[in-house]
Chain A
Amino acid sequence: MEILVCVKRVPMVGGKVVVTPDGQDVDTRMSGFAVSPHEECAVEEAVQITQRLGGTVTVLTLGPAEAADQLRDMLALGAGHGVLLETDGREWGPMATAAAIADAARRRGVGPDGGYDLLLFGNEAADTGDYQVPVRVAHALGLPCVTAIKNLEITESGAGAGAAGGSGAGGAAGARARASREYRGIEEAFDLALPAVISVKEGINLPRYPSLPGRLRAKRAVIEQFRPEYRGEGLRKELLRVPPGESKRAEILGTGTDAVPALVRLFEEFGVLS
């Protein structure tokens, strides 16, 4: 099972988002960068699938040279290869990003005989929240696509509901995905033939922490680098502004033992107690 997972370097933020004085970026001097949380779950899902079925996970990002840090973070979790589509720091829109990713996927190929069997994405990036890239990549590659998946099961041909017959050497012909999501209280289940594009949401799994050996492997790993040509598109970033928004509010539930019932209710609400 060859899986491509696409991730994005996004600013980590604390309780308060601070914008740089020129209004062009989130101020990250105090906070640093991470991979969008949905995407971290996508990587975890991919690692679990390959641990079960064999194959490798390739993690790809489009971003500045520093985005290699995020690739290595994902390599430390068990991804096997890293691909950096290096930009010059300019903002890329979802159309251009999807096109560049599709080009990169084509380089390896999609489908049996060594191509990618599955392309995993996070449902949306934590910073821009465009919700577009997975769909556009699927469209460009002519692959089926489901989004916002919280449960995913991959079966190789012969192992699950499929017809008899082995998969091709090194490929996963006949493999299928059973993916489901919650929508307004209803579970929607999809049955797709691979290759396919699937975007996942937090909650699909609990991402692991990197191990020390994993981190050291990631440090040594060679990252494949490409420089896709910048493609502008209709959308341009003018200015970032933090909306006035609601300020944080603290509610005192009570003091001493009087606070216990309220606390229990809260724990029940969080699902910590049942």
Chain B
Amino acid sequence: MNDIPTRASAVIIGAGIVGNSLACHLARLGWRDIVLVDKGPMPNPGGSTGHASNFIFPIEYSKMMMELTRDSTEQYKALGVFTESGGIEVARTAGRMEELRRRGSAARAWGIPARHLSPAEVAKLVPYLDESVILGGLYFPTVGVVDSLRAGTLMREEAQQSGALQVLAGTEVLGIDTAPGGRAGRKVATVRTTKGDMDTDCCVICCGVWSPRIAQLAGAHIPLTPVVHQMISVGPVPLFADTVGEIAYPIVRDVDTNMYERQHGGDMEVGSYAHRPIIVGPDDIPSIEESVLSPTEMPFTQDDFDPQLLQALELMPDLLGDERVGIRYSINGLISMTPDGHPALGETPEVSGLWSVAASWIKEGPGIARAVAEWMTGAVPEIDIHEADISRFHAHQRTTAHVTARAREGFNKMYGIVHPSEQWESGRPLRLSPAHDRERDLGAAFIETAGWERPNWYASNENLLERYSGRLMPREAEWESRWWSPIINAEHLAMRDSCGLIDLSAFAVLDITGPGALAAVQSAAVAQLDVRAGRVVYTSLLDEAGGFRADLTIMRLGPETFRVVTGGATGMMDKQWLRDQLPADGSAQISDVTSSWATFGVWGPDARTVLQAVTDSDLSHGGFPFATCREIEIGGVMVLASRISYVGELGWELYVPMEQGARVWDTIWAAGVPHGLVPVGIGVYGTTGRLEKGYRAYGAELAADYNLVEAGMTRPKVKLQPFRGKEAYLAQREQPPCAVLCTLTVDDHRSAAGTLRYMLGGEPILTPAGESLTDAKGRPSYVTSAGSGPSVGKHLLMAYLPAGHAREGNRLAVEYMAEQYPVTVAVAGATPLFDPENTRVRS
């Protein structure tokens, strides 16, 4: 019955919701000879799927998670295991009421039905809730519950019945052997189990909380940690005695107390994310035999939950305070948490053919499985899952210390009010620029990117506030002034008036070298890279469907040497993407040299004057043209200077050997201050400077579901050489775009309460009558980036608009905090709002 095959096309480890769904989707995509292995019994092998509360709210903070949840919900519905119950997020505090208004707008942006309710309206839907405890609620009618074990069984059986899948229950994986080869240098060869060994090129880890341990068998990392989520189930609830089915009342998320209450038949489940974070080591999970209930249902630690009992009683006093209703089940359930809260999906960077599909919840499991199955099959996943790509993690982010610290910090934010610029506090500072001490002394307000401490603005520039008074668009509302300062706008204006010094050391710097280097970059990049040494090329990288995969600059430093500079946050993903483009013959290598190079930018009308004062090299427009790079000497240090700009000003990026960085900073500082040089933070570089110039950002405007034509980034000619995504791109050029990236200005910021409000991104764009805008591909229009444009005196929004609405001067509206504000399309396309002729950059 359990004859083990000697070879499999794919070995899936773990038969929870993810593994079962993945087996099904691979089978649907034509895979055969798949084996699904689990050490536990079917249908509930003892992982987190077995104790999940199984409810699905359609709203998420991330577009990716929202789309995965939507796809999963559709799959559950198709399997007939979804029951719609509705769900309500209730607010106990004024701050939360504000958050619900923001969430309502976000729901609107994604086409998710949502309605604000008064306390009495909440109580009407949930009669056992004490309305005096709450200020209001946000009702999501499409919330529902699923039977995830049944769904997994159905999907597993579908794959079995199609003859594609063999299931090995009660089979423990003992080892994953690797062999030399593959893009990573090592590839999966054999999966060893208690029932025998199987040769395979493809092993997929769907092991939830056990994933790190299983990955370790092959020498790979899956950065997640098991974390306790406490849940109790109380019953029998007399009120539920007469209800039909599993659930008849809406699920309540009591978000201010980090709790939820959900009917489950005759019982009420009360779950909490409020207790102290309890991290469980991957080796401290009991075996199936040792477990009292199951390995992921660990003994309940009552003291941790007691404070939550009071809060639950406050909200539902009669139902939960009934002496006849008992706590029948209580667990410390284990769930998976990654350092940034997103799943860990994709081929591991360390071992080719070893895939991770981990840190998924019930709500996104089937959607994730479908996306990864598409990816494994060589297709571009329909849902852009790059934010969950396991290759995103930098080395330090894979350390146990980092994973547990961030999981600890993230746990209590599960239902928290999370600001778009929210900063992590643990594990900092870690990566420091050589100018860090100088920046700290200048009063830098640091934010973190990929472990780097980056100045957002400098308190030392406070004196500029007076100079630019009246042009700074100060923000009255606390929410919008969080992680923000009017100093950012003052730095922006000072840079445009004289010049600014910006620390960009968080850039990821990747060198591609060898005889095959040109072929590698040519095959990856849209732009022509067969240029003379000393050219700097700004380019997009596309996937096969012509969606954006990266947006970066490449310097040709020599015949066989290219230097790729990209954002710190996406650096490791871009590295893996480029690695996979290297010629198979080993004629080119890629190496991460980020830690070797500090990067400073000097931009502004006086940038040439300042830099020329510290170097003998010719920096004239003719002598050092735009989009070129070369080595120059600054104060006895050999510096690679690159004349480009992301802020729309004359100037250079300077790549300085890390240990000599402080000297170069000091040299420029001393020469620049007399000319009005100011330190400028990332608040300018990442937002205000680029928005005025219409420069797009990867992850915001540039995402896999939009293309170069829609983004207004086509060039007159397409290079002759092949590159990834070329066919799709050529086809896109033949079609009129069904959406156009526009820059909009906000015409009136005053709210009904009389406060000036400033959008931060993610808000829906509406017609003046308040109707949603959706393009011909069904994509809703929403704000991809938002920020001040101090030089143009407007708050700027970028958004893809349906082609018919992308007309300059077109008047529309943006919804923010449940109110509408008038906006005008200022630019349809890529023409900068500031300095439209680009004379500054090319002066």
Contact = CB atoms under 8 A, between A and B. Distances in A.
Given A12-B299, A30-B298, A32-B299, A212 B290 contact: no
Contacts of B234: 209, 211-212
Contacts of B313: 212-213, 216
A32 B327 CA distance: 17
A223 interface: no
Contacts of B300: 32
A153 B788 CA distance: 80
Interface stretch (B281-289, B387-395, B480-488): B281-289
B799 interface: no
Interface-centre pick from A16, A29, A212 (highest chain B CB count, 10 A)? A212
| Of listed A31, A209, A214, residue having the most chain B CB within 10 A | A209
Centre residue among A16, A72, A73 by max chain B CB count within 10 A: A16
B327 A212 contact: yes
Contact of B323 (A12, A31, A213): A213
Given A211-B326, A219-B306, A14 B290 contact: yes
B714 interface: no
Contacts of B326: 208-211
A155 B642 CA distance: 97
23 contacts: A12-B299, A14-B290, A14-B291, A14-B292, A14-B293, A30-B290, A32-B292, A69-B302, A208-B326, A210-B326, A210-B327, A211-B323, A211-B325, A212-B309, A212-B313, A212-B320, A212-B325, A213-B313, A213-B323, A215-B302, A215-B309, A216-B306, A216-B310
A216 B284 contact: no
A244 interface: no
A214 B325 CA distance: 10
Tier of interface size on chain A:
20 to 34
Contacts of B306: 215-216, 219
B321 interface: yes
A16 B325 contact: no
Nearest to A216: B309
B580 interface: no
A121 B232 CA distance: 29
B777 interface: no
Contacts of B309: 212, 215-216
Given A12-B292, A211-B234, 7 more contacts: A29-B284, A31-B286, A69-B302, A212-B320, A212-B325, A215-B327, A216-B309
Given A213-B313, A219-B306, A14 B286 contact: yes
A213 B324 CA distance: 10
A243 interface: no
A14 B289 CA distance: 6
Report the 4 A-B pairs with minimum CB-CB distance, sorted nearest first. A209-B326, A32-B299, A30-B286, A16-B289
B257 to A, nearest CB: 15
Interface of B: 234, 284-293, 298-300, 302, 306, 309-310, 312-313, 320-328
A31 B292 contact: yes
A31 B299 contact: yes
Contacts of B292: 12-14, 31-32
A89 interface: no
A15 interface: yes
Interface in A1-52: 12-16, 18, 29-32
Contacts of A210: 326-327
A108 to B, nearest CB: 27
A150 to B, nearest CB: 23
A133 to B, nearest CB: 25
Given A31-B290, A31-B299, A211 B322 contact: yes
Interface string A72-90: 1100000000000000000
A26 to B, nearest CB: 11
A15 B41 CA distance: 14
A213 B290 contact: no
Given A213-B313, A216-B306, A216-B313, A15 B289 contact: yes
Contacts of A216: 306, 309-310, 313
A211 B327 contact: yes
Contacts of B322: 211
Interface in A179-223: 208-216, 219
Nearest to A252: B1
A24 to B, nearest CB: 18
Nearest to B323: A211
Nearest to B287: A16
A73 B309 CA distance: 15
A104 B288 CA distance: 42
A137 B452 CA distance: 69
Contacts of A208: 326
B290 A15 contact: yes
Contacts of A214: 323
A209 B328 contact: yes
Contacts of B324: 211
A210 B326 CA distance: 5
A208 B298 CA distance: 22
Contacts of A69: 302
B69 to A, nearest CB: 31
A193 to B, nearest CB: 33
A50 to B, nearest CB: 15
Contacts of B288: 15
B2 to A, nearest CB: 12
A208 B236 CA distance: 11
Contacts of A215: 302, 306, 309, 327
A215 to B, nearest CB: 6
Contacts of B299: 12, 30-32
A57 to B, nearest CB: 16
A205 to B, nearest CB: 14
A153 B172 CA distance: 53
Nearest to A15: B289
A30 B288 CA distance: 11
Nearest to B322: A211
B286 A212 contact: no
A30 B291 contact: yes
Contact of A213 (B286, B298, B321): B321
A28 to B, nearest CB: 8
Nearest to B234: A212
Nearest to B170: A250
Contacts of A12: 292, 299
A125 B302 CA distance: 23
Contacts of B287: 16
Nearest to A13: B292
Contacts of A219: 306
A18 B327 contact: no
A216 B289 CA distance: 33
A212 B291 contact: no
Nearest to B280: A30
Nearest to B286: A30
Nearest to A76: B327
A230 B306 CA distance: 34
Contact of B290 (A18, A73, A211): A18
Contacts of A13: 292
A216 to B, nearest CB: 6
Contacts of B320: 212
A14 B297 CA distance: 12
B531 to A, nearest CB: 62
A209 B330 CA distance: 11
A60 B743 CA distance: 74
A272 B310 CA distance: 38
Contacts of B302: 69, 72-73, 215
B453 to A, nearest CB: 39
Contacts of B312: 212
